[in-house]
A and B are shown apart, each in its own frame.
Chain A
Amino acid sequence: QKEVEQNSGPLSVPEGAIASLNCTYSDRGSQSFFWYRQYSGKSPELIMSIYSNGDKEDGRFTAQLNKASQYVSLLIRDSQPSDSATYLCAVSLNRDMRFGAGTRLTVKP
């Protein structure tokens, strides 16, 4: 079992729709969870961090964490073409950071 799993996609949504990205992780002891966005040819950049169960909202982005289910998600409301990128889920595992393979999102105008 991979440490951090994501659907590789591609995920395609129309402009203005909600994009839903999912991630599961294997270690119940993980405490910190992050979503990064990576544009093609660029380095990953942090979008959201979440540390406790529930929802955390920041503008059009909402991160959701359920530690019992070992599940973290990212919702992007009112998706824009500029949101088209690969979204990486990262989990702090044994004090190190592990990444999923990323989900490629395309927002079509």
Chain B
Amino acid sequence: EAGVTQFPSHSVIEKGQTVTLRCDPISGHDNLYWYRRVMGKEIKFLLHFVKESKQDESGMPNNRFLAERTGGTYSTLKVQPAELEDSGVYFCASSPVLDSPLHFGNGTRLTVT
């Protein structure tokens, strides 16, 4: 079984540019989560998809962040325009059912300069 895959693994962009992160969950996992970890701080919840629907997007910091999961398969997280404080590691995780353990991808390390 392939795990959760994220692309790219690293991204360095300048302030004001756009970046799109991609996550491919484990096949058959309806639940897909995005989290962000800023160095030294907690893994902060961003949003949760159930299939293609946004179950909870209360953690999205502002309207510069847009997440999609068309067709209920892979998901993208776009940051436009990027700001310095957006730097961190963005993790994607999936699970087959609610309240079950999450399977994490390796994360995308985003650096905004």
Contact assessment for B42 and A45 in the assembled complex, using a CB-CB cutoff below 8 Å: no
Q: Report yes or no: B45 in contact with A97, Cβ–Cβ below 8 A.
A: yes
In the A-B complex, list the 4 residue pairs whose CB atoms are closest, starting with the nearest: A101-B42, A43-B104, A99-B43, A32-B99
Q: What string of 1s and 0s marks CB contacts (under 8 Å) between B41-85 and chain A?
A: 111110010000001100000000000000000000000000000
* Chain B contacts for A46, CB-based, 8 A: 101-103
The residues of A that contact B100 with a CB separation of less than 8 Å are 32
A95 within 8 A of B: yes
| Residue ID in chain B nearest A95 by CB atoms | B98
Interface band, chain A: 20 to 34
Least CB distance, A104 to chain B, in whole angstroms: 10
- Pairs A–B under 8 Å by Cβ, sample size 29: A31-B99, A34-B102, A43-B105, A43-B106, A43-B107, A44-B43, A44-B104, A46-B101, A46-B103, A49-B101, A88-B43, A92-B98, A92-B99, A94-B56, A95-B48, A95-B55, A95-B98, A95-B99, A96-B33, A96-B45, A96-B48, A96-B55, A97-B33, A97-B45, A97-B48, A98-B45, A99-B42, A99-B43, A99-B45
